[in-house]
Structure 1
Amino acid sequence: MTHSVEAGTVLPFFSSEHWQRQAVLCQWFSTLMFKEPDDATLAAYQAGDAAPLLNWLSEDGLQSEAGALQSAIAGLSVFEHPRLELAADFATLFLSDARHSAAPYASCYLTERGGFMAEPAQRMAARLANAGVSLPEHVKEPADHLAVMLDYLAGGYRQLAEQNDKAQTTTLTGIGQFLEQELCNWLPAFHQRCQHSSVASPFYPALATLITAFCRKRQQETLS
């Protein structure tokens, strides 16, 4: 895992490095929500590979949330087969019946009946199309899957990092609207479901807490 900005660096708000950092974090969250980590990735996290990212989050005011995920990573050492435990937790939380799990789809929280492929998925598909983005063939998830939405958000921050100040204003406004209208309005409910599910490790509940707090922080940032 490589990072363009060293941990411990205090970044000025609205700097290119600041936006690059948010893009990297969004991409990391997206990867974690798309599928459970393999043995090599878990070993790297336990060896400290996630520490720079968690340090960035702590520096951004999310010390408690980042610390909880760090503790969950450290706690994986108690399992004989941590990957299998996380895979089981991933399935319990995100792949089970949506009525009894923390389904990572906006439609499950923003529609009256809590179904799939509703208006949020259609809106997200339109956003991807307007941005000229198509999902890889192996991705069979609806467009309103949290991993897809975080990947889209990462693209917005990469765009910000490359723009001049004038262009940034429009892009940042769009990111703020996306966070408000498509993410922050359902992530708290998703987070609550994660906290009340029976899992072996606190890894995914801690991840859900961190993602929710991160998106709220980013939304507040757009209003500054």
Structure 2
Amino acid sequence: MLNQEQLSCYQAQANVLYHALYFEPSEFLLGQFRENDVAKSWPETGEHSCRSRGLALLEQALTESDDVLLPKLKIDYTQLFLGPGELSAIPWGSPYLHEKRLLCGPSTEAFAAFCQHHGIEVSTQSKEPIDHIGLMLSVLGSLLAEEIKQENGVPVKVAEDLLREHLLPWSGRFCELMVDGAQTPYYQGIALLVSSLLDGLKQELDVSPLSLQLFQ
């Protein structure tokens, strides 16, 4: 069982990575990273190697000024997650788990049913599938925050189910594709930090993810 400090660290990481993956790059987030000296202030929870490499890449990217960095990041974000054209790292789970690589496949429906069952509301920017990795990290962060408040083991058990059934079966492949497809050290670093977060929780919560065939 994670202690309160560990829960708080993982919750903070999940929240930051949700914003980094789900929303387009912004001066605000870059400013927050610089203001807080992200390489030194990032919590020391998660898998060590990926965390260290990810923070080094992020620190490298942030040496550039916003007027130089932001245009590069917007191009990278578009190619990775939005298109047009083939995406370098599809951010929704269903195409990884469906043989026809469909959006809104059975895994999307299963995640929606999971959220409904547990009374979890997922807020999207538009009419899009809710199994976006950024949104899933947001749900994960919310569950860890609830555990911090309740201290009864119930929200963290739901978080374990989220990881086991809906996120870990495909997130590793997503992170690999993001590292390979990213053209900036910023997004390579973000991918490694996601890996660090999820691998750390997998180990510390002793979660064995469902073994599902991947199609990406």
> TM-score if structure 1 supplies the norm length?
0.79
Conserved 8 A contact 1:184-1:212? no
Please state if 1:156 is matched with 2:154: no
Which runs of 5 or more structure 1 residues have no equivalent in the other structure? 1-12
Displacement of 1:191 in angstroms is: 1.6
Q: Compute the RMSD of aligned alpha carbons.
A: 2.4
Displacement of 1:98 in angstroms is: 7.7
Conserved 8 A contact 1:96-1:103? no
Displacement of 1:216 in angstroms is: 2.0
- Of 52, 75, 78 in structure 2, the residue corresponding to residue 67 of structure 1 is 52
Conserved 8 A contact 2:51-2:192? no
Which residue of structure 1 aligns with residue 162 of structure 2?
178
Per-residue CA deviations over 1:184-218 (Å, capped at 9, x if unaligned) read 1111211221132251x122122112212311221
Per-residue CA deviations over 1:3-27 (Å, capped at 9, x if unaligned) read xxxxxxxxxx632232222212111
Which residue of structure 1 aligns with residue 210 of structure 2?
none
Conserved 8 A contact 1:173-1:222? no
Conserved 8 A contact 2:175-2:191? yes
Displacement of 1:158 in angstroms is: 1.3
Higher relative contact order (CA 8 A, sep 6+): 2
Please state if 1:211 is matched with 2:163: no
Q: CA separation in 1, counterparts of 2:53 and 2:107?
A: 30
Which residue of structure 1 aligns with residue 30 of structure 2?
42
Q: CA separation in 2, counterparts of 1:173 and 1:35?
A: 28
> TM-score if structure 2 supplies the norm length?
0.82
Bigger Cα displacement from structure 2, 205-214 vs 26-35: 205-214
Percentage of pairs with the same residue: 21
Conserved 8 A contact 2:10-2:141? yes
- What letter corresponds to residue 168 of structure 2 in structure 1? C
Shift of the 195–183 alpha-carbon distance from structure 1 to 2, 3 Å rule, reads same
Conserved 8 A contact 1:16-1:162? no
- Of 81, 99, 106 in structure 2, the residue corresponding to residue 112 of structure 1 is 99
Which residue of structure 2 aligns with residue 9 of structure 1?
none
Q: CA separation in 2, counterparts of 1:184 and 1:137?
A: 21
Bigger Cα displacement from structure 2, 115-124 vs 42-51: 42-51
Shift of the 113–97 alpha-carbon distance from structure 1 to 2, 3 Å rule, reads farther
Provide the secondary structure at the position in 1 that maps to 2:181: coil
Provide the secondary structure at the position in 2 that maps to 1:204: helix
Which residue of structure 2 aligns with residue 10 of structure 1?
none
